[in-house]
Amino acid sequence: MSELHALILAAGKGTRMKSDLPKVVHTILGKPMVAYVIDAVKSVGCHKTILITGYKSEAVKECLKDYDVSYVEQLPDQLGTGHAVQCYASAATSRPTDLLVVCGDTPLISRETLKTMLEIHAKEKPAITMMTLIMKEPGTYGRVLRKNGEIHAIREAKDCSKEELEVKEVNLAIYLFNSDFLFDNIFKLSPNNKQKEYYLTDLIEMAVSQGLKVAGCLEKDEQSTLGINTVEHLKEVEEIINAKFKG
């Protein structure tokens, strides 16, 4: 029987939130923003939910004391998304069949698109299924690079060439990994980039180099992908959720 776990990345301080609190504990309509993400992954059938915490992890645990989740700390340094998943893999006592990795600051994450992502993953059986979005102005988002229609790499905007920056399909940092592939490759990541961080996105090229498939799941509702980095973003998302409740 297949087992699906969710890993929520929630270690950041959120320096632009103008607060000493960890970013993910800021509330929307009285509920921590990360709680919306927890509810979403549980709704699509995740058997276990693990949070990667770092900055003031006790504050995160306190605000989620009524939630059935477990924790792994990313300390003392936070060296990127790949490093966060390395911390999880080091602490894991067993492997699920698949691991869904999402960010804790995206409370509008679409449950419907997550379900579609799971269906694609079950049907195509790739090493990785990732969620993407076509944007008119991709800005600082990582670009999805394709060859003959197939995903072959993700390039962080800061590392892109001028030609790659013209790509409109972007990475939403929502991944579904076959756990055997993930555990076999996560510690092969290296911080060989301008940020000197361990990029989870490097696993895309690793999979392709091993002859494994990387599947894409296209999100069509850009609003659902909004991440929260500032107080203004928080208010914007609160208005959207409020409107949905009223609707």
Question: Annotated catalytic sites, by residue?
Answer: 16
**Which residue is it, tokens 């960890």?**
22
Indicate the SS3 state at residue 196.
Answer: coil
Axis crossing angle, helix 33-43 with helix 111-124, rounded to the nearest 10: 40
State residue 245 phi and psi, 5-degree precision: -65, -40
CA 222 to chain centre: 15
Q: Say how far apart CA 166 and CA 109 lie, in whole Å.
A: 26
CA 93 to chain centre: 22
How deeply is 21 buried, as exposed, middle or buried, from its count of CB atoms within 10 A (0-12, 13-18, 19+)? middle
Secondary structure element (H or E) that encloses residue 4, with its range: strand 4-9
The residue type at 117: M
Q: Strand 150-155 and strand 143-147: pairing?
A: antiparallel
Asked whether the CA dihedral 229, 219, 180, 107 is positive or negative, the reply is positive
Q: Say how far apart CA 26 and CA 44 lie, in whole Å.
A: 24
**Which residue is it, tokens 């419907």?**
112
